[in-house]
Structures are given as C-alpha cells and as structure tokens.
Chain A
Amino acid sequence: MALTTQAAEPVGGAGGFLAGSAPQRARRRRLGLPPMTAKLAAGLIISGAILLFGLLGPFVVQDPTRVDDIGLTGPSSAHLMGTTQTGQDVLAQLAYATRGSLTIGAIVGVLTLLLSGFFGVVGAYAGGWVDEFFSLFTNIMLVIPGLPLVIVISSYVPDKSLLLVALVLSLTGWAGSARVLRGYTLSLRNRDYVLASRVAGEKRWRILAVEILPNLIPLLASQMVFAVIFAILGEAGLSYLGLGASGSISWGTMLYYAQNGLALRLGAWWWFVPPGLLLALFGAALSLINFSIDEIINPKLRNQTRAARRGWLMSRKQLETAKEATL
C-alpha cells in the first residue's frame, strides 16, 4: 500500500486553522506543547471562557447576597438569569460561584502537584530507604478512603474556610498521582540517557532537573488537570451535602440551595441548570485538554485519532482509501 502524502491538497477552512502550518507545528513540538487539535482547541476555548467569567464576572454583576422580596422569578431584563427563592440574582451568584470553584480547583491542583511531585518523583529518584519510606507513606494515604474522610473532617470542623476544604481535598487526593509519577520516574531514572549524563559527570540534582523533569512535564500536566477536576467535583459534592466551606459560594453550594429551595419541583430551571452546566462543561473541557496531553505521553493514542491523520495532510479521499485498507 503506497500512500503519497505530498500529493494531497492542503486542508482548508477550520481544519487548516486547527492543524496549523508546518513551521508552526514544528515550533509547538520544540516547545514541548501538544499539537493543536480540534479536541485541544475546544477544551482550551471552553475552559478559557469559564475562567474569564470567574475572574471578571464578579466585577460586573450585582451583589449576589442581596435579598429581594420578589422571590423566585424567571429570567427578566432586571435579572438576566432570574432570581432564587429569596430573590437573589442567579447570574451574580453564578459569577461568584465560578470564582469559588475555580479557586478550590487551583489551590488543590497546585498542592497536589507539589505533594505528588515530592513524594513520587523525588522518592523514586533518590531510591533506597527514602523511596521505601515515601512509597509506604503514599500507599497508606492511598488506601485511606478520600471522600468519607473528607466528610468526617468536615463534620467535625464547624467553621470551615475555602482554604481548609482545599487543603483536605488535596491531602486525600495526591497519593494516586504520586504513585503514577513514581512508576514513571523509576522507568526514566534507569534510561540510558540518564546513565549517560552520569557518565558525563552531571550532578545528581541537575540530572533530575534537566534530564528527567522535562520528560515528566506532560505527565505532571495531566495529573494536575485531573486533580483540578477531582477537586471541583469533590467540593461540589461536599457542598451539595451541606459540608462545604461556610460563607462562600461555589457551583456545589448553588446546587445545594437550589435543591433545598425545591427548584427542581418548582420547575425553576434557571436556578439549577447554569451551575450544573458549568460544572459539567468545565470538567469536560479539562478532560479534552487531558486527552491531548495523554496523546503526547502515549504516541499510540496519537496515531489513531482522525485529527492526526488530517495532520499528515491526507485528503478526504486518501483517508477513505486508508480506512478501507485497514478494514
């Protein structure tokens, strides 16, 4: 089977924009960035929009806590997304809730990255008893059931700040990532190129920082994205159970109040759909980004996507014949 890739006509329109020109693609690869695929673009656009809304929204909307005696009303010009049972503006609440949920996600993401990087990467690289001790500790943290523990802690501490909830979520969530990172670091540290830099006379810390860490970046990024999803969903779950941070709004607390206010039974869709939708959209967008990162870690996945085939500049007709050939 002979496939001539040169003869293909260039892909125009949206496909061309997403695939990027050849030198552009080469530059992205050199910088260690994932190739711009439709999946990655969709993920970036959606999560970027939600991020912007969370960052800037609170500055333009009304006061989310102001109670009004108009009660539960649908969308109107005064309240673009309607009001809650107590007459609070849903759009304002949504903006602050987005900010709250993203804050939790960011804090947990960073803390998880630091904890799992320390216990997973440093332990595996140091080896010996350090590794034994770190991985024992990781395994203990791993078998402690996360959410139940969070519920227990949450119900004992009456006055919880957003930071405390984030702390608890990251303490129970880092161990899985640490194990993944440890396994990969163990395989990296015995690669020939690491031995070669020891033979060249590199210092140990420099081998870790310059030779090993760059190859871990895709994995670290995907673990961090995963941690952010876990944190936002976890916090939403806690808040929905009424165990979240007191005195702050997140997507979970909005859903909790909507549930308490019988929004579902009253058909007040404008109250529970927006936070639920943003929660689902943000999770999906981060997952899309994660898929794209996974494709760098695991080239086997990359070669199987349709976007990749488009990247080879094959025309639709060539794709058809290629598909037939594989069937």
Chain B
Amino acid sequence: MTTLTAEHLVKNYHLRRGLRGSTLRAVDDVSFTLEPGRTVALVGQSGSGKSTIAKLLLQLERPTAGRILVDGKPAQRRGGGLDRYRRTVQMVFQDPFASLNPYHTVEHHLERPIRLHHPKLSGDEVHRRVLHLLERVRLTPAENVAARRPHQLSGGQRQRVAIARALAPRPGVLIADEPVSMLDVSIRLGVLNLLATLQREEDLGVLYITHDLATARHFADEILVMYRGRIVERGDADEVILRPRHEYTKTLAAAAPNPERRLSELRGG
C-alpha cells in the first residue's frame, strides 16, 4: 500500500550548443498522485516529456524543482532510504529488446532484484520465487524459460520477463513507459490485460504512459494529457476522451475517433 505523489516537478536539460548553452524545460510544473489499485494514464505525443517524468519518479534523474512524496514523506535519494524507495517503485521499460541484458539469462534478471531486496533468502527459495514470477506472467514451462537468454525469446515474452522483474521486489507502484508500443499489434492487448490483472492482484498504483488514447481510456481511471512538458488537461478517463476541453486533446481524440473500434481492431489484429 503506497501512495506516490509528484509535487510541482520541473526538469530542465542544459543543451550545449557551441559556446552558448540553452535550457530545455522537458517537464514543467507537473503534479499528480498515484494511489493503490488505481491506474493513471499519461498521454502525449513523443517528445512531450513522458519518459522524463518516469525517470524522475524512478530517481534516475534529479528534478530541477519540486518533490516526490512517498505516503506523504519526501522520497530519500541515497542510502537505505533509496533502497526502500527502489523496493517500492518499479518500472517496465518501453523497449523489451533493450531492457534485458543480452549477456544474462532470464533467471539472472529476476534473481538479482529478489536477492537485493531479500538478502536472507536461500538459493533454493530465490529459485522458487523466480519460477513463481515466471508463472505469474504466464511464461511456462518456467524452468525452461528461466534458463534462456533474451535473444531466444519473442518481444512479447521479453516484455513479460520485464514485467516479472518489476514485480520481483513486490513494489507498491509500477510505472509502465509505453509498455506495448514496441510489440506486435496482435499481442499488445494480451500484455496490457496481464498488467491489469497483476495490478488487481497486487493492488498496485500504476502510471501507464502511452500515446494511445484508446488503451488509456480502457485501462485507466484517470487521464493526464501532456503537451510540451505541461499537463494541459486531466480528469476522469471517459470525461477527457468524450468531452475534451483543451485544443491539443481535441486533436488527439480526433486522430483516434473511435476508441471502441481501435480496441476491437487490437483484439482482432
């Protein structure tokens, strides 16, 4: 049970161009709350700052301004506090072909987070947990999959391994950065449904980053629309899609006129 709050997050990148530098504001005064059992969708075109928000929430980047709160207390940036934070907030990366180390087996990828966050477990117990995780993401026979290397798996299977890795420390918050955009259309819905099921089972707070309004409406309770680093519109999922107020959301909604049809396309595809 964790509530993660972003308060007035700002991230500037300094770009060096010759002698003069310029500043790019990738994230501009963004606030939202992730609550257990709820999915918040972050929608926006590419380059709007969605992944930067993910990196800030995962403490891979330091915010220029603003704070991140865990259950109302400021998140700690180092030491044991950071270890606890890493156990609580986990991530599924966009590209399953880049997020698994080609040199290591599936077992290594799942075993490391378990060992790091539960150092007292014996080797046998760790192995059993690895197999259990694989079964939970429907990768069977687990024993067989655990011994494989990433290049012996399909894109969808890799993304399931990435999901299992994110679940390994038993987090309370999951951030999924366009988790299906690199996958074949025909398997996208399967992976999203799996995420939704796991979320219900674990009562996770999920930040679902996407540029697909249809899946955002289907899977999220709340939608944040992002445009050039700012949240330009937010609200109940149906509300945002059916009665968009901001110009940008209107064009987005117009580009995907019929979410139901998109979904049935995905199912049929």
Contacts and interface: CB of A to CB of B under 8 A. Distances in A.
Interface stretch (A14-22, A114-122, A195-203, A224-232): A195-203
Contact of A214 (B60, B82, B103): B103
A201 B95 CA distance: 20
A216 to B, nearest CB: 10
Contacts of A211: 101, 103-104
Interface of A: 30, 32, 191-193, 195-202, 211, 214-215
Given A192-B98, A196-B165, A202 B116 contact: yes
Contact of B169 (A191, A192, A200): A200
A197 B82 CA distance: 14
Interface in B80-99: 82-83, 86-87, 90-91, 93-95, 98-99
Nearest to A201: B86
Interface of B: 58, 60, 82-83, 86-87, 90-91, 93-95, 98-104, 112-113, 116-117, 149, 162, 165, 168-169
A199 B60 contact: yes
B103 A199 contact: no
A193 B58 contact: no
13 contacts: A192-B93, A192-B95, A192-B99, A193-B98, A195-B60, A196-B165, A197-B101, A198-B60, A200-B86, A200-B169, A201-B113, A214-B104, A215-B102
A215 to B, nearest CB: 5
Nearest to B93: A192
B245 to A, nearest CB: 35
B16 to A, nearest CB: 12
A200 B93 contact: no
Contacts, number: 54
Tell me the interface secondary structure of chain B in the complex. loop
Contacts of B162: 196
Nearest to A215: B103
A201 B117 contact: yes
Given A192-B98, A200-B116, 20 more contacts: A192-B95, A192-B99, A193-B99, A195-B60, A195-B99, A196-B91, A196-B99, A197-B101, A199-B60, A199-B86, A199-B91, A200-B86, A200-B112, A200-B165, A200-B168, A201-B83, A201-B86, A201-B87, A201-B169, A202-B116
A311 B116 CA distance: 41
A201 B91 CA distance: 12
Given A200-B112, A200-B165, A195 B86 contact: no
Nearest to A200: B113
A192 B101 CA distance: 9
Contacts of B94: 192
Contacts of A201: 82-83, 86-87, 113, 116-117, 169
Nearest to B112: A200
A211 B112 CA distance: 11
B101 A193 contact: yes
A129 B93 CA distance: 29
Contacts of B99: 192-193, 195-196
Nearest to A203: B116
Contacts of A202: 112, 116
Contacts of B113: 200-201
A193 B100 CA distance: 5
Nearest to A217: B103
Contact of A191 (B87, B98, B116): B98
Contacts of B90: 199
Question: Looking at A191, A196, A214, which has the most chain B CB atoms within 10 Å of its CB?
Answer: A196
Contact of A197 (B87, B112, B168): B112
A203 to B, nearest CB: 9
Nearest to B116: A201
A197 B98 CA distance: 12
Contacts of A192: 93-95, 98-99
